[in-house]
Structure 1
Amino acid sequence: MPILSELLSKIDWVEPDEVPRPIVVFGTMMDEAGAIELDLHRHQKGQIILVQRGALSCEVEGGLWIVPPRSAIWIPGGALHAIKASGALEGYNAFIDPAVAAGLPATCCAVSVTPLLKELLARAAHLPYLYEEGGANSRLVSVLLDEVAAARVEDLHLPMPSDPRLRRIADQMMAAPAERQDLAAWARQAGMSERTLMRLIDRETGMSFGRWRQQLGVVLAVKWLAAGASIQKVAADLGYESAPSFVTMFRKALGASPGRYMAERHPGRALG
């Protein structure tokens, strides 16, 4: 199977929608100097992308997902999506036929990865495109499908607004998260009242302004930590006055401190 860095140059690329098998798995590898930026596109087959090293950001029809190491993102068939990554990236990319995806989520979501799921993807990535059906290979992909369906959903989703005024605000906040303007300042900049802006944010994202900004901090923190940034730097870049206040927010959002959360995904690695 080709690796993802080769897919970008179309070397040995086979369109997964055209492969008559229920699951097609590719290996993923990109060195430190590489970068991936795939513009909006869609597949007939559903897609699960497992990240072993590095981090992906994926925008899917109104939402942004961050995928840290030892996590994966599930993208249902037909969903319009764009993918970005920078730096080193390793993992697996599986395409699943809708005919066998009935037990999988109907919407995009980030999921945690068990050791069994990782090993099944690794094994399936070494199968030929047209692997023999009805025997051991079919049993392998069947168990793989069961593991994908059983994967635990992770809260690494940031709803993205479609209203142009809100999208401009969201883009500015993502570009400079340390500039923590209050709601009144953003409302003045957008030329609307605070109340109107509050209603618009709730309607477009299902969150309050404060909750959305906190979730923005969570997904950016996971992305930066996965790329090797220290807890102190992430806290500063998000505009926190101290690292402990950032750690408290992170623990409340994801149930573990940044150090523990990333250590579970990078055994032997300590964050400072």
Structure 2
Amino acid sequence: MPACWLGTVTVHSDHHIFWVMRGTAKVLAGGEVHDLAAREALWIPPGVPVDQISTEPGSVAFTVLLPSRLFPDFPAGIVRRTLTGPLCDLLLYLHSRWVTPSWREAAVTPDIAVTLRRVFSGPGRPAVSFPVTPVSPPAVAVARQLVDDPADRRTLRELAAETDLSPRHLTRIFSTETGMSFGEWRVELKLAVAARMLADGTPAGRAAAAVGYTSPASFSRAFRARTGTTPGAFRSVSGGPVAARPDAVTVPEAPAATLLPLVNRVHVLVWMARGSARVRLRGREVTVARGQLMWFPAGVWHELTTSPGGVLLCLGTLPLEVPLTHDHAVPFSCPGIPEEDLLYRASVMNTLLRPYPWDPGEFTGELAALLPPVGHRDRSPSVAAILRDDAEGHQTLATWSRRLGPDTPELARLFRRDTGQSYREWKVDRRMTEARALLRDPGRSVEQVASAVGYRSAISFNRVFRAHHGMTPGQFRRDRLARSLFEAVE
């Protein structure tokens, strides 16, 4: 398992939990470097920049975002914790729910929310980031001098004179390229350097002097205004992991959950990492046991319900050109693939962490080898053409028959053989899958959604949608917008 890295700066508006399942990881967040071992996690609050994440070879790490409104009273600082096995499984469950938005139930139940608060609340350092560096050469030269010596006592006028710029011009450059005035940028730099020294255990008075403050009181006022805490309190917070004793926190079992009926545009491979799932297909029902894999071929209707504690992870997708049919939708085992390899694949598939160098073609090629030894290897080209070119089901089967060659009865037989359902059933299911995605956009009216998925009348669209979901499109939209899938149900 190659090392992975994320080199793009990300700033989330939600709470962000990053944890290591296997191996080690290094996270640069909030201006600090955090070295994490297996079963260690970081709670990163909204607005704290994550500059870089890297893992060592053989390591597996995951992430999940939780809406800030669920945890409004959490501290502004990054919190680090050591996790138990059950806590890792709970976070893996939340990750699986986060990356698949089409579940009926909310993921964060009240008892899960309480558990997360108990585990991650407590001491944590407020994040103090280094300011953005300007890009213009004269401003870069000034910034480098101050980074090398934050206690430099030269004034703006003296620094500007060395660059042949006027003080006003230099201030304008800093304001344009960093979003703050030169004076604000300089204070931010001093406090960021001081925060790193305090985190390393440097006494507050020595840190104040090192960044150019002549008075500990003025340093304390500036530091508190920036972080909400005093330098002494900031220094006293342990940056190391805090062990979560198994008997200290009772971890609730993840609830059972049902995925809304889907018809995929591509072939999707899933892995039952924890628990089991019951899968309904047209005309049959199968059970996926822990450790088993299953393909959901493109165009095949399916609905699944996980057991309590069940975690279903996506391992990847294949394009429509690969000849998978309804018969391939069966659970199968791959005893030769260790669990850590499957976790690694799920991590790469569902997070922004990528191996370096990253070869998507090689990744897809490995998936193509994981096919169950059943089914029609040669899917009908006519059915493949319909699935590819009529994603919303706008045509009739007779129209496709005239275009593709087989007569209508033969085309109907081939379509049912390859997808497990009639063309009419597939058309409605595909439209409903697309409609749910469009209804999540508040900028689209129900009438526009109806037209986009092939209905001439909003009335007929409402009737079909209600038959499939037990609610009207308007009720579905209000329910989804008012209650996020990750919002705890009181």
Q: Give TM-score scaled by structure 2 length.
A: 0.32
2:195 pairs with 1:222: yes
Which of 145, 160, 164 pairs up with 1:191? 164
Structure 1 residue 167: Cα displacement: 1.7
Task: Tell me the amino acid that sits aligned with residue 118 of structure 1.
Answer: R
Task: Tell me the amino acid that sits aligned with residue 156 of structure 1.
Answer: V
Q: CA separation in 1, counterparts of 2:175 and 2:195?
A: 24
Corresponding residue of 2:205:
232
Which residues of structure 1 form unaligned runs of 5+?
A: 1-11, 18-22, 31-35, 37-48, 50-55, 59-64, 84-91, 105-110, 128-134, 268-272
Structure 1 residue 222: Cα displacement: 0.8
Corresponding residue of 2:20:
25
Q: CA separation in 1, counterparts of 2:60 and 2:195?
A: 21
Q: CA separation in 2, counterparts of 1:125 and 1:221?
A: 38
Corresponding residue of 1:252:
225
Contact 2:78/2:127 (8 A) holds in 1: no
Which residues of structure 2 form unaligned runs of 5+?
A: 7-17, 35-40, 54-58, 69-75, 98-106, 241-490
Which of 156, 159, 165 pairs up with 2:128? 156
Matched length: 192
Partner-residue secondary structure (3-state), 1:190: coil
Partner-residue secondary structure (3-state), 2:81: helix
Q: CA separation in 2, counterparts of 1:261 and 1:242?
A: 18
Task: Tell me the amino acid that sits aligned with residue 235 of structure 1.
Answer: A
2:178 pairs with 1:205: yes
User: Which protein has greater RCO, CA pairs closer than 8 Å, 6+ apart?
Assistant: 1
Which of 75, 81, 92 pairs up with 1:118? 81
Q: CA separation in 2, counterparts of 1:93 and 1:154?
A: 27
Q: CA separation in 2, counterparts of 1:262 and 1:168?
A: 31
2:169 pairs with 1:174: no
Contact 2:171/2:181 (8 A) holds in 1: yes
Corresponding residue of 2:93:
139
Contact 2:78/2:125 (8 A) holds in 1: no
C-alpha distance 125-246 of structure 1, shift in aligned 2 (>3 A): farther
Which of 224, 231, 234 pairs up with 1:261? 234
Contact 1:177/1:217 (8 A) holds in 2: yes
Corresponding residue of 1:6:
none
Corresponding residue of 2:353:
none
Rg: which structure is higher? 2
Partner-residue secondary structure (3-state), 1:224: helix
Q: CA separation in 1, counterparts of 2:22 and 2:52?
A: 19
Pairing 1:14-163 to 2, within 5 Å after superposition? 14-15=3-4, 25=20, 49=27, 65-67=30-32, 94-96=61-63, 112-114=77-79, 118-119=81-82, 122-123=83-84, 138-139=92-93, 141=95, 154=126, 156-157=128-129, 158-163=131-136
Task: Tell me the amino acid that sits aligned with residue 128 of structure 2.
Answer: L
Contact 1:124/1:140 (8 A) holds in 2: no
Deviations 1:156-179 (A, max 9, x none): 231221222212211110111111
Partner-residue secondary structure (3-state), 2:31: strand
Identity of aligned residues (%): 25
Contact 2:198/2:234 (8 A) holds in 1: no
Deviations 1:169-206 (A, max 9, x none): 11110111111211101111111111111111100111
Corresponding residue of 2:459:
none
Q: CA separation in 2, counterparts of 1:29 and 1:230?
A: 30
Structure 1 residue 154: Cα displacement: 5.0
Contact 1:178/1:238 (8 A) holds in 2: yes
Q: CA RMSD in A?
A: 4.8
Q: CA separation in 1, counterparts of 2:22 and 2:145?
A: 35
The runs of at least 4 consecutive aligned structure 1 residues that moved more than 6 Å come to 27-30, 68-72, 124-127, 150-153
C-alpha distance 208-136 of structure 1, shift in aligned 2 (>3 A): closer
